[in-house]
Amino acid sequence: MREQINILVKLQKLDTEALKIKTTLNNVSRKLENLDSDLKEVEQTITFQESIVDNLKKEYREYEADVKLNLARNKKSQEKLRSIKTNREYQSLLKEIEDVKSKNSSIEDKMIECLDRIDETEKVIAEKKDEYSQLVDRIKREKENINQEAELGRKKLDELDKDREKISGMIDSELFKKYLVVKEQRQGGLSVVPVKDAVCHGCNVNLPPQLYNELFRCDSLKFCPNCHRIIYLKEL
Ligand SMILES: [Zn+2]
């Protein structure tokens, strides 16, 4: 029985390792998706910032057109000024010209502000584009690593499968069935655990003295009454 338990423990090690690799492999596609979404995020930021620049440029052109219109208007007024006869009319037109001038001056301030904001935003875009190309490189490397690791994992899994087949052929079929049942219940946790100083190492609960004594005999398979795992003596 002791020898069979030893084989079972070996088998369990293989199963645990295989499970670990399977979990990693399952995470591969999620990892790859995460990398892609990082890239998409930067892409979206760039697109957004570019739309800001487009709007600012449009705003700038509108201001420019307004200024031109006002200049033309004032040019006309200046011409009209020459033909005016009364002082009142003259003063009123002069005031209109001044008003248009000050309007233009405030539009020009806005244009400068516009240009500043375009500059700032374009700087952000340049930084983001830099970040993007770095990210593309990094992601390419990371994807290569992930795929390489996955490939290794799959190979290792194949080896483990072969070892497992070999080892499971050495185990008594009834014992193997029981192992599989416990394994199913443990859902990836340990199914075969040592007992030390009468304590089950699966659940840390004390075994009844009689069961503990029986373990020394090594003549049959024993289960922990608390966690139902297969138990064996740690020291023999
Ligand atoms: Zn237990």
Band (pLDDT 50/70/90 cuts) for residue 186 is confident
Q: How far is the CA of 15 from the centre of ligand 1 (A)?
A: 20
Q: How far is the CA of 223 from the centre of ligand 1 (A)?
A: 8
- CA–CA distance, 35 with 42 (Å, rounded to integer): 11
Which pLDDT tens digit goes with each residue over 144-157? 999 999 999 999 99
140's tokens:
């390419």
Q: How far is the CA of 164 from the centre of ligand 1 (A)?
A: 25
Q: Around Cβ 121, how many Cβ atoms within 10 Å?
A: 19
70's tokens:
């006002």
What pLDDT is recorded for position 203? 95
pLDDT at 236 over 80: no
What pLDDT is recorded for position 235? 67
Q: Is the Cβ–Cβ distance between 72 and 179 less than 8 Å?
A: no
Which pLDDT tens digit goes with each residue over 94-103? 999 999 999 9
Q: Is the Cβ–Cβ distance between 6 and 173 less than 8 Å?
A: no
Q: Is the Cβ–Cβ distance between 160 and 17 less than 8 Å?
A: yes
Q: How far is the CA of 232 from the centre of ligand 1 (A)?
A: 11
pTM: 0.66
Q: How far is the CA of 46 from the centre of ligand 1 (A)?
A: 58
- CA–CA distance, 189 with 12 (Å, rounded to integer): 10
Q: How far is the CA of 207 from the centre of ligand 1 (A)?
A: 8
Ion ligand 1: residue ranges with CB closer than 5 A: 200, 202-203, 224, 226-227
Output b/e per residue, 181-218; b: 16+ Cβ within 10 A. ebbeebeeebbbbbbeeebbebeeeebeeebbeebeeb
118's tokens:
């375009």
Q: How far is the CA of 168 from the centre of ligand 1 (A)?
A: 24
Band (pLDDT 50/70/90 cuts) for residue 189 is confident
Range with lowest mean pLDDT among 74-83, 181-190, 221-230: 181-190
Which pLDDT tens digit goes with each residue over 38-91? 999 999 999 999 999 999 999 999 999 999 999 999 999 999 999 998 999 999
What mean pLDDT value characterizes the chain? 94
- Residues facing 223 on adjacent strands: 230
- CA–CA distance, 230 with 181 (Å, rounded to integer): 10
Residue range 136-145: mean pLDDT, rounded: 95
Band (pLDDT 50/70/90 cuts) for residue 183 is very high
CA-nearest of 207, 189, 200, 195 to 233 is 195
Range with lowest mean pLDDT among 42-46, 205-209, 217-221: 217-221
Residue range 123-150: mean pLDDT, rounded: 95
CA-nearest of 54, 61, 60 to 125 is 54
Q: How far is the CA of 160 from the centre of ligand 1 (A)?
A: 27
Q: How far is CA 43 from CA 14, 132, 141, 159, 161, in A?
A: 44, 7, 19, 42, 43
Output b/e per residue, 46-59; b: 16+ Cβ within 10 A. beebeebbeebeeb
- CA–CA distance, 236 with 195 (Å, rounded to integer): 11
Q: What percent of the chain has pLDDT over 70?
A: 99
121 versus 2: which is more confidently predicted?
121
Q: How far is the CA of 5 from the centre of ligand 1 (A)?
A: 16
Residue range 10-36: mean pLDDT, rounded: 92
What pLDDT is recorded for position 188? 77
